[in-house]
A and B are shown apart, each in its own frame.
Chain A
Amino acid sequence: MVLSVKHLLGIKELNVKDIEQIFQTADNFKQVLQRSIKKVPTLRDITVANIFFENSTRTRLSFELAEKRLGADVVNFSASGSSVSKGETLIDTVNNILAMKVDMVVMRHSASGAPWFLANHINASIINAGDGINEHPTQALLDAYSIREKLGDLKGKRITIIGDIMHSRVALSNIYCLNKLGAEVTVSGPPTLIPKHIASLGVRVEYNVKKALEWCDVANVLRIQLERQHKPLFSTLREYALYYGVNRSMLDSLKRDIIIMHPGPINRGVEINSDVADSKHSIILGQVENGVAIRMAVIYLLSGKREMEQ
């Protein structure tokens, strides 16, 4: 086995060697994606099911492209319009999909821990495409990969994560990933959106966004996850934008250039202004491009020797 894990559930369970291995393999797939024929026949005998219990644009498209460019067969499932609304349980749903001879499951679910639960009950390899407010491992991998591409080694690099840290699975996976790779992390945003004990994960907390930007080499700006906030945690989006939004004049006041990242979807004018998101320091679309290569690497590395049925 090349990776130490059978599933990609969270970054927490990966070791540094796993992450390096994924990056190195992604380099090869990135090369493939730059050719005129952006496809290899590697996984022509496996079928992957993308099971999405939550909305997604980028992640879902990115996984589907990654699977198709590896030559795998793909089936897509989304909870809306399925029998989930008729009361079918998660295990039943997935087992029925697996009964149709599916080898690998990519799942997004609104309940934190859902992929771990599933991994205990089914045989296929599972890739977590985001579970509740817990982890979004492939996003963290592609974020770190994009930083590595820009700045080289991540050791000692300073990354600030700004926004709704409390409800963001991107933030948690990023913290695990960047820590493992030796980068320093600061989280910033309104105190109500930053968990009380987050410092115990080995990150700095800086409530002043400007100061957090002055400190860092890379700023990863996150969306406000209104769909997960069940009580008001800040007054208005306008006020949030005023105090915590990243804008041009803020960046201009820094003495040096920093790299701007965002996992998408962007709420322009709230957490980030257009003149920042579209500036030459933004690598937001580069992140999306790298996402396909990273997901190809993860799927390939997890596709290894399976016990043959019969």
Chain B
Amino acid sequence: MKTLLNNDQLNITLQRLAHQLVENHLSFKDTAIIGIQPRGIFLSNRIADMVKKITGNNNIDYGKLDITFYRDDVQSRDILVPSDTNIPFSIQGKNVILIDDVLHTGRTIRSAMDALIDFGRPKKVELLVLIDRRFSRELPVQPDYAGQTVDTILTQKVKVYWKEKDGKDEVVLIDKI
């Protein structure tokens, strides 16, 4: 097991990502943040809070998206229990920033884009991830903002721990046998 980001490094990375978002989207007037359920939410909660602090805009559109019903592997695996989707605003014509913790095969993001389009036609969709496992892609999906890019093989696993859920902030790389 190897630590990719410890508590302090994770915080600095999140700060950088939030600042990069503000650099591109300024006041967030026409931009919405949407986190992907279930584990992308911990990241999107932090990022949304930081962006609010930096911009001073407390009314940023922030939603949560569950992609269970849009997966491409429903029939080949056990049924998953869905989480809540909550997008209390229109995404029509907006810039949408999708947020997930780890970008791996790209299939989750493909599903998320399908799900998103069912809510309206965004002007532009960007992707922010904390960890980009760049050599594991099965679909042509790339992040616009990445906390850290790591080279991993399929048997390895990236695990992101969040204080809110797991009691600590840490990202580790686990070698599975």
- Is chain B a partner of chain A in the same complex? yes
- Which residue on B lies nearest to A32, using beta carbons? B69
Q: Which of B31-82 contact A (CB under 8 A)?
A: 66, 68-71, 74-79, 81-82
Bound Cα distance from A28 to B71, whole angstroms: 15
Distance between Cα atoms of A46 and B82 in the complex (Å) = 19
In the assembled complex, which residues on chain A have CB atoms less than 8 Å from the CB atom of B120?
36
**Which residue of chain A has the shortest Cβ distance to B76 in the bound complex?**
A305
Contacting pair A41 B69 (CB below 8 A): yes
At the interface, yes or no: A110 with Cβ under 8 Å from chain B? no
Interface string of A184-200 (1 = CB under 8 A from B): 00000000000000000
When the two chains form their complex, are residues B78 and A28 in contact, meaning their CB atoms are under 8 A apart?
Answer: no
Any B CB within 8 A of the CB of A42: yes
B residues 81-124 in Cβ contact with A at 8 Å:
81-82, 84-85, 114, 118-120
A283 to B102, alpha carbons, bound, how many Å?
45
Produce 1/0 per residue, A23-58, CB < 8 A to B: 011001001100111011111011000000000000
Contact flag A304-B79 (CB < 8 Å), given A37-B118, A41-B70, A42-B69: yes
A241 located at the interface, meaning its Cβ lies under 8 Å from any Cβ of chain B in the complex: no
Interface presence of A247 (CB below 8 A): no
Q: Are B79 and A1 in contact (CB under 8 A)?
A: yes
B contact residues around A306 at 8 Å (CB): 75
Known A28-B66, A32-B69, A35-B119: A41·B114 in contact at CB below 8 Å: yes
Tell me if A303 is interfacial: C-beta within 8 Å of chain B.
yes
Does A78 sit at the interface, judged by CB under 8 A? no
B79 touches A300 (CB 8 A): yes
B75 touches A305 (CB 8 A): yes
Tell me which residues across on chain A come within 8 A of B75, comparing CB atoms: 45-46, 303, 305-306
Give chain B's interface residues, CB within 8 Å of chain A.
66, 68-71, 74-79, 81-82, 84-85, 114, 118-120
Point out residues on A near B: beta carbons under 8 Å: 1-2, 21, 24-25, 28, 31-32, 35-37, 39-43, 45-46, 70, 300-301, 303-306, 308
**What are 26 pairs between A and B in contact, CB < 8 Å?**
A1-B78, A2-B78, A2-B81, A24-B81, A25-B81, A28-B66, A28-B68, A28-B69, A28-B84, A28-B85, A31-B84, A31-B85, A32-B69, A35-B118, A35-B119, A40-B70, A42-B71, A46-B75, A300-B69, A300-B79, A303-B74, A303-B79, A305-B75, A305-B77, A305-B78, A305-B79
Task: Enumerate the 3 nearest inter-chain pairs by beta-carbon distance, A residue then B residue, closest first.
Answer: A40-B69, A304-B79, A42-B69
